Amino acid sequence: MTHNKFIKTALIAAITLATVLSLSLTGCKRDSDSGHGGREVSLTDLVSVTDVVADTPDMAVTQAIFATQGVKMTPITIDGETRYFAAKDGEDFECLGEGHKILGTQKTDSGMDVYALCSAFGYGFRDGKLVDEYGFGRIPTLLQFETDPATGGYVCTHYEEAEDGGEFETSVYRMFPRAVAKQALKETADDSVGEDIEKQIRAYAEAYLKYIGRDAKISSYHDEDFKILTDYGVSVEVSNELTELHWDYGIYVGSFERVENGERYVYYQLWEQDGSTPGNGKVTFRKVRDADGQEIEKIVYEVKGDSFTRIDQE
C-alpha cells in the first residue's frame, strides 16, 4: 500500500541483507531515526528550517516535513522563481525533497490544524546519477500550528502520522474528521495523486543540481538494477562479513558519493572476477576525495569460496 513507509536504500538494503545475507534490520543505521508510520514527532529540538515563518498552510507543511528530517531549507532563484532545496551533510542522501497534498484545514483557538498526505525523498549520487536513496510516501499526517504573534505566520507544534499496518485505517479516522479521513484513505491509493506529489519532490532535486552546477540524470531506486556481491557468486557468509566490516561503503557494487564536512567523497565497492569460478575474485573498497582525486583509503580482499584475505598494503 502506498501509505507504508519505504526507506529506499537504507531500509530496502537492510531487507536485502536480511533475506540474502542473513543480516537483520537492526543493522540498518538510519532505520531507528528515520522510520515512519505512527510517529508523533517532537519538534522542540529540531533545527530551524528557515529564517522565515511560514505565511501559508502550504509553506507551513513544507517546513514541518523538513524539520522532522533535521534539514535546513535554502532558497535559490531559478528562472526568476524562488525555489528551495535542503541538503544534509554526512548522509548517504545529500538532497531532500518533499511533496504533499492538503486535504483540509480547521481553525483553532491558537492557530490551525492541517490534514495532509506527506512525502519526502532523499537523493544521493550513485553511479553518477542522482537517485532517491530514502523516502516515505503519502502518509496521512495531522499537523497542528500556532499563530506566531510577531509575524502572523504558522509555527508547527505537533506532527503525527497514521499508524502502519492493520491500525492504519483506524488511526486515520482518529486523526482526521470523518469526511477528510475517507478522502485520505481513497487518495493514498490514487496513483495520480502520487504522481503529482512526486513531481513536487523531483523539483527539489532539479533545483539542487542547478545549485551545485551539475548535470546528472535524476533517477528512482526502483528503476535501477544495483547489484550486491552475492549477485556475482560471493557467498552469503563472506558478503555478510565484508558488509559489517565496511558499512560506510554500503552494500552495492559500484560508486556512491557523500558530502562530509563540506567536501565531496566518492566511495567505490568494486568486484573483479578471477577465473571462471563464480565468487572467486577481488573486492576493493576505495574512498577518493572528489575535488582533487586524492585517494583517502583503499582496501583489497581476495575471495575464495567461503573465505577472504586482505591483500593490499596496510
More confident residue, 276 or 33: 276
Give me the mean pLDDT over the 283-290 stretch. 97
More confident residue, 7 or 147: 147
Position 123 scores a pLDDT of: 93
The answer to whether position 2 is within a domain reads no
The answer to whether position 260 is within a domain reads yes
Position 35 scores a pLDDT of: 45
The answer to whether position 3 is within a domain reads no
As for how many domains the chain has, the answer is 2
Residues 300 and 208 in one domain: no
- 178, 195, 221 - which closes a domain: 221
**pLDDT single digits (tens) 9-40:** 333 333 333 333 333 222 222 232 334 556 66
> Is residue 133 pLDDT above 70, yes or no?
yes
Position 23 scores a pLDDT of: 30
Long-range contacts: 146-155, Cβ < 8 Å, 24+?
146/110, 146/111, 147/110, 147/111, 147/112, 148/53, 150/53, 151/53, 151/55, 152/55, 153/52, 153/53, 153/54, 153/55, 153/60, 154/53, 154/54, 154/55, 154/57, 154/60, 154/111, 154/112, 155/53, 155/111
Split at pLDDT 50, 70, 90, the class of 42 is low
Position 6 scores a pLDDT of: 40
Split at pLDDT 50, 70, 90, the class of 91 is confident
Residues 28 and 159 in one domain: yes
Residues 269 and 171 in one domain: no
Position 48 scores a pLDDT of: 58
**pLDDT single digits (tens) 209-259:** 988 899 999 998 889 999 999 999 999 999 999 999 999 999 999 999 999
The answer to whether position 99 is within a domain reads yes
Residue range of the domain that includes 89:
8-221
Split at pLDDT 50, 70, 90, the class of 124 is very high
Residues 211 and 237 in one domain: no
- 221, 252, 270 - which closes a domain: 221
Residues 38 and 84 in one domain: yes
> Is residue 113 pLDDT above 70, yes or no?
yes
**pLDDT single digits (tens) 180-201:** 999 999 999 888 998 999 999 9
How far apart CA 118 and CA 100 sit, in angstroms, is 4
